[in-house]
Amino acid sequence: MTEKQEKILMAALQLFAQEGYHATSTSKVARAAGVSEGLIFRHFKNKEGLMQAILDEGESRFKSLFADIVLETEPKEVIRKTITILHKVDVSEYDFWKLQFKLKWELEINGDKKMEPLKMALVHAFSKLAYESPEQEADLLLVFIDGIASAMLKGSQLDADKLIPFLLKKYDL
């Protein structure tokens, strides 16, 4: 990816996160990136192509975050790494992740497909540990993580630094 493409994506990311996808025009993105609007169309075809590039980057980052967990063979480590995954996200990346959450709601994007490898790893881990309802345990843990992540990104008063140890203790890790 060229430096100008990266500038365009970063500008779009910030504007989509702050103002929403529908409220942001390609001309506004071009101004923020310091490029011509035509350059956006040349590289990304249209606003939808620009959004798709951001979503594709999100998919790549999701896979990168989950890779270590999905490849883990020790069941308790799968659960521990899932609970502590939020610590792997640097504050400097919050705008990117805010946009992923915002787009999920604004554009009614279902993220289940992205989460499937992680869910399967958790179901397998809970099964190996003889939990009564491994699939429901996996769903519950993913809902907890999603909620904590949402709260962190919104700057909520919810204290993730207390909830994460609580979850680790709950699962005897």
Residue 16 near residue 51, CB atoms below 8 Å: yes
The dihedral through the CA atoms of 49, 54, 56, 57 has a sign that is: positive
Q: Angle CA(135)–CA(145)–CA(58) in degrees, nearest 5?
A: 100
Residues 35 and 61 in one domain: no
pTM above 0.85, yes or no: no
Residues 69 and 146 in one domain: yes
Residues 75 and 124 in one domain: yes
Tokens of 171: 């699962």
Burial of 92 from C-beta contacts in 10 A (0-12 / 13-18 / 19+)? exposed
pLDDT at 110: 64
Residues 122 and 164 in one domain: yes
Distance CA 166, CA 173 (A): 10
Q: What does the pLDDT look like over 53-103, one tens digit per residue?
A: 988 888 888 888 889 999 999 999 999 999 999 888 888 888 788 877 777
Domains identified in the chain, total number: 2
Q: What does the pLDDT look like over 89-145, one tens digit per residue?
A: 888 888 788 877 777 777 777 667 778 999 999 999 999 999 999 999 999 999 999
Tokens of 173: 């890790």
Tokens of 150: 């949402």
Residues 6 and 80 in one domain: no
